[in-house]
């Protein structure tokens, strides 16, 4: 009886030690969405149970090793024990109840995480090798940065133009794959103003590790101001004709992952000195690169693959590049000599 009491006290002590130790490590990033609160609540409960189970196994094990070790001169066998019905029923029924309870709480929790707010703002997300594009249908704008108003649910409708990518902002906790040929969705209610990073969490090719996008959560007023700014910018761009500076911005957003502008070889050929250069295609054809060639290469990359490079499935239209954007890009390429 005294031994059982000692073990029980030690189990409680080790449970607390493990639980508070794990909590103090601060392994979780900031909790920045309503979904994160639900998920972390359940996760915390699981950590408590895990700490207890760890103590329940390790404490009796180590205690037995010390208390019941063979003493000098002891040569006989231990006591033979044949079954214990009460114990066996106990260790079957109690875990069953625990698992079923967690299954129920998990389902409840998933319900909260997926709770639908009919007022949710829709953002269309396109993932491509290797970048992100966000469209705001309600405002007719698009962006490479994900701006979100705080305390409002956002419904992300997601598509991929090539392979599987995965939408993941660690601070929001939720994660959802983008699957080619299918539309997937996820809902997030940001609760903390701040800057975060959207990361692709599905291995999607050589530049996967750099497939990030900034996420900026701001107040409703700041969000509206940002929308207006984007709308004015887009209208001005449309009115002014091709522009090399805007082309450079688009290069940095859409093209940089594969094409260098300093002559180094990337996933695709460098853009340095591209205009007027002799191009050799993989079928042996050679010609001088002109504007028409560049536009065709962006719009239908598979139609003319440069020798020594893999054919790529970049889809300019799907990622939201308009003809005006492509004209800006050509203008930018003209400056790379």
Binding string, 161-200, against ligand CUA, x = CB under 6 A? ----x----------------------------------x
Q: Which is nearer to ligand CUA, 208 or 250 (CB)?
A: 208
User: Which listed residue (7, 188, 204, 289) binds ligand CUA by CB under 6 A?
Assistant: 204
Q: Segment near ligand CUA (CB under 6 A), from 70-78, 144-152, 201-209, 305-313?
A: 201-209
Q: In what order do the strands lie in the sheet with 154-160?
A: 141-143, 131-136, 121-128, 154-160, 184-188
> Min. distance of Cβ 13 from ligand CUA in angstroms?
44
Task: Tell how strand 165-168 and strand 286-288 pair up.
Answer: unpaired
Q: How far is the CB of 267 from ligand CUA (least distance, A)?
A: 13
Based on CB atoms, which residue is closest to ligand CUA, 204 or 253? 204
CA neighbor of 21 nearest in space, from 60, 55, 57, 70: 55
Pick from 182, 43, 169: nearest CA to 109: 43
> Is residue 208 near ligand CUA by the rule CB under 6 A?
yes
**DSSP bridge partners of 288:** 278
Cis peptide before 73 (omega within 30 of 0): no
Q: Is 230 in the site for ligand CUA (CB under 6 A)?
A: no
Spatial distance between the Cα atoms of 79 and 71, rounded to a whole number of angstroms: 15
Binding of ligand CUA by 202 (CB under 6 A): yes
- DSSP single-letter state for residue 25: T
Window 111-150: residues binding ligand CUA (CB under 6 A): 127
Footprint of ligand CUA on 276-335 (CB under 6 A)? none
SS3 state of residue 299: helix
The answer to whether the Cα torsion of 284, 287, 288, 290 is positive or negative is negative
Single out the residue of 157, 148, 162 nearest to residue 32, CA to CA.
Answer: 148
- Complex with ligand CUA: residue 125 or 336, whichever CB lies closer: 125
**Is the Cβ–Cβ distance between 190 and 33 less than 8 Å?**
yes
In the bound complex, what is the minimum distance in angstroms from residue 244's beta carbon to ligand CUA?
A: 29
Residue with Cβ nearer ligand CUA (18 or 200): 200
Q: Please give the residue ranges that form the binding site for ligand CUA (CB under 6 A).
A: 127, 165, 200, 202-204, 208, 211
């Amino acid at each position: 009886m005294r031994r059982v009491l000692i073990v029980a006290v030690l189990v409680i002590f080790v449970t607390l030690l493990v639980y508070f130790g794990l909590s103090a490590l601060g392994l979780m990033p900031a909790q920045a969405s309503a979904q994160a609160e639900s998920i972390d609540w359940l996760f915390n409960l699981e950590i408590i149970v895990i700490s207890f189970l760890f103590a329940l196994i390790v404490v009796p094990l180590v205690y037995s090793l010390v208390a019941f070790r063979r003493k000098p001169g002891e040569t006989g066998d231990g006591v033979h024990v044949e079954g214990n019905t009460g114990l066996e029923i106990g260790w079957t029924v109690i875990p069953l109840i625990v698992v079923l309870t967690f299954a129920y709480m998990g389902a409840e929790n998933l319900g909260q995480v997926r709770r639908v707010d009919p007022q949710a703002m829709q953002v269309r997300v396109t993932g491509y090798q290797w970048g992100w594009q966000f469209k705001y249908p309600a405002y007719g704008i698009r962006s490479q940065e994900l701006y979100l108003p705080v305390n409002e649910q956002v419904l992300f409708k997601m598509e991929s133009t090539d392979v599987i990518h995965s939408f993941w902002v660690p601070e929001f906790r939720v994660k959802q794959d983008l699957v080619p040929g299918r539309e997937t969705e996820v809902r997030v209610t940001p609760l903390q103003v701040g800057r975060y990073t959207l990361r692709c969490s599905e291995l999607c090719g050589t530049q996967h590790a750099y497939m990030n996008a900034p996420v900026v959560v701001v107040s409703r007023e700041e969000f509206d101001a940002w929308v207006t700014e984007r709308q004015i910018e887009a209208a001005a761009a449309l009115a002014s004709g091709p522009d090399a500076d805007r082309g450079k911005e688009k290069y940095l957003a859409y093209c940089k992952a594969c094409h260098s502008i300093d002559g180094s070889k990337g996933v695709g050929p460098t853009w340095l000195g591209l205009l007027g250069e002799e191009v050799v295609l993989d079928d042996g054809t050679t010609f001088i690169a002109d504007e028409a060639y560049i536009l065709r290469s962006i719009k239908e990359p598979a139609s003319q693959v440069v020798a020594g490079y893999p054919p790529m499935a970049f889809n300019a239209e799907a990622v939201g590049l308009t003809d005006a954007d492509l004209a800006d890009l050509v203008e930018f390429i003209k400056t790379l000599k």
